[in-house]
Amino acid sequence: MNREEAVKIVMSMLEKNVEDLEMSEDKMGKTLVDLGVDSLDVMLVIMDVGEAAGVAISDDEAEGLDTPEKIVEFILK
């Protein structure tokens, strides 16, 4: 998977799980909280991203994924 594909997955999962959120590249560095993502939605987004990317993300690993950019970096590892 390349970076462009990873960004597309993260952005689409955020838009799917967070009502009225329109993602763009300039929002990738913002915290999930600043984007209006509540704690339940964070877990749903991370689970969906992991499934779509074919990557297992443990609860411990998920705790540090507080921006869309960090999620992208994690799935590209």
Residue 1 · residue 53 · CB < 8 Å: yes
Question: What are 16's two structure tokens?
Answer: 């799917």
Amino acid at 10: V
pLDDT score, position 35:
96
* Locus of tokens 């993602």: 23
Per CATH, which fold does 3-76 belong to? 1.10.1200
CA 75, 58, 38: angle at the middle one, nearest 5?
85
* Mean pLDDT value across residues 52-64: 94
pLDDT score, position 47:
94
Q: How do the domains of the chain map onto residue ranges? A: 3-76
Q: With bands split at pLDDT 50, 70 and 90, how would you rate the model's confidence at 1?
A: very high
